[in-house]
Amino acid sequence: MALLGRFSGALLRSASRAQTRQLSAVAHGEQGGRTWKILTFVVALPGVGVCMLNTFLKAQHHSHEHPEFIPYTHLRIRSKRFPWGDGVKSLFHNSHVNPLPDGYEGHDE
């Protein structure tokens, strides 16, 4: 085992960065970097822009009202209180999205 470790270490030391760069250039050609640069500006960046536009437009049409609260028995089960705050809200509680076991906060129904 020790002989195998020494042999592999010697092989790794013999391979230099110049050889690695040379092999990379041969594998991708000299135009490889130019191709990836063109793909970045022509495909990737416009793709990110389209995704951002889609997200913005969907956010404009999104309803900010709470859905109807239905007190299902299998959801929001609290067998013991949380060790922070008032013990009812989870650690990352968001009053606009997460209802408590008895309904949304601030709505008297």
pLDDT digits (tens, 9 = 90+) for 69-103: 888 888 888 889 999 988 989 899 988 888 888 88
Q: Of 93, 100, 96, 97, give the one whose Cα is nearest residue 77.
A: 100
The CA-atom distances, in angstroms, between 38 and each of 1, 34, 46 are 48, 6, 12
Apex 43 CA angle, 40 and 45, nearest 5: 65
The pTM of the whole model exceeds 0.75: no
Q: Which residue has the tokens 């949304």?
A: 104
pLDDT at 23: 55
